[in-house]
Structure 1
């Protein structure tokens, strides 16, 4: 069995069709095992014998759209990808908190070359690096600056809409749940 974490785009817990129990039901209905949700924002860990990640993403997204009307995207990462990302300690010495968000933006595919991001004139965002194995942009958002940042729009414009962002804490929790 292979362990995966699915990070779903566009999940709003206030929508009854997007609640954890319904998401778990879709994954279980697809024959996946040890299905578990994490938080209420579209994070699902599961196991399957399947190893074709793009096919899994398409299968899950089709089922979510058909059964629950969820149009967003599904991005899957393997246990190894998340384990290696966390083991690399990308935010060494930093703690995710209200003032400082440590974020991981997963993209569908690793770009051949990392695009240049526009300068952050608010000094609220620092790009740490791009992790090619996990196809993830790692960044730090400083929430102490009263200037609002449009960083997520910049990332979407630069890397495309087929992305989803989680806090580093969520990624660590997903990995821990996969290890359980």
Structure 2
């Protein structure tokens, strides 16, 4: 059975307990379910289906089991492994000292003009339905999140490159 990673928007240890989230995914019929990092990352096995169908199934299961759902984006585990192997950051001109983040969308955006860098945050490029960005930590907080949401809206979820690596290994 293929392995998938669900990336949920807005999950934190304060608003969702990982054992309950795991149980919700299991109630949807997914197997070998594993939550990662208490921040809305769930690895699971499922019969082959579209990413959108798996996301809908997960959201419905969360609504039923938890009384709420979180916006969910699903990727095959192999997709994340391929992203890591291809590592687009050097080719996009990433500052080697910057933090790397990937924003995931359900579908590729229409032609989008990326905004100029702001306070050390920079969107470097879009490949498929992922936006590759970098930021330099600052006292202004997560400037890159405001920049991403202003450009693409809130139907997006963002992970650090290290989190993508951990999800791919799950």
Question: TM bucket by the smaller chain?
Answer: 0.7 to 0.9
TM-superposed CA distance for 1:34, in Å, is 0.9
Shift of 1:164: 0.4
Shift of 1:95: 10
What's the RMSD between the two structures over aligned residues? 2.3
Unaligned 5+ runs, structure 1: none
2:122 alignment partner in structure 1: 126
Matched, 1:142 2:136: yes
Query: Any gaps of 5 or more consecutive residues in structure 2?
Result: none
| Matched ranges for 1:69-80 at <5 A | 69-80=67-78
The 2-side partners of 1:102 and 1:7 are apart by 17
Aligned equivalent of 1:8: 8
Equivalent residue for 1:169, pick from 156, 162, 167: 162
Which secondary structure does the structure 1 equivalent of 2:126 belong to?
strand
For residues 99 and 75 of structure 2, the distance between their equivalents in structure 1, rounded to whole angstroms, comes to 21
Distance 1:173 1:4, change over 3 A: same
1:90-146 deviation digits (Å, cap 9, x = unpaired): 234x899xx742101001110132x12332342x112232121xx111111101x44
The number of equivalent residue pairs is 168
Q: Look up the match of 2:146.
A: 153
What is the deviation of 1:75?
A: 0.3
| Cα distance in 2 for residues equivalent to 1:30 and 1:95 | 42
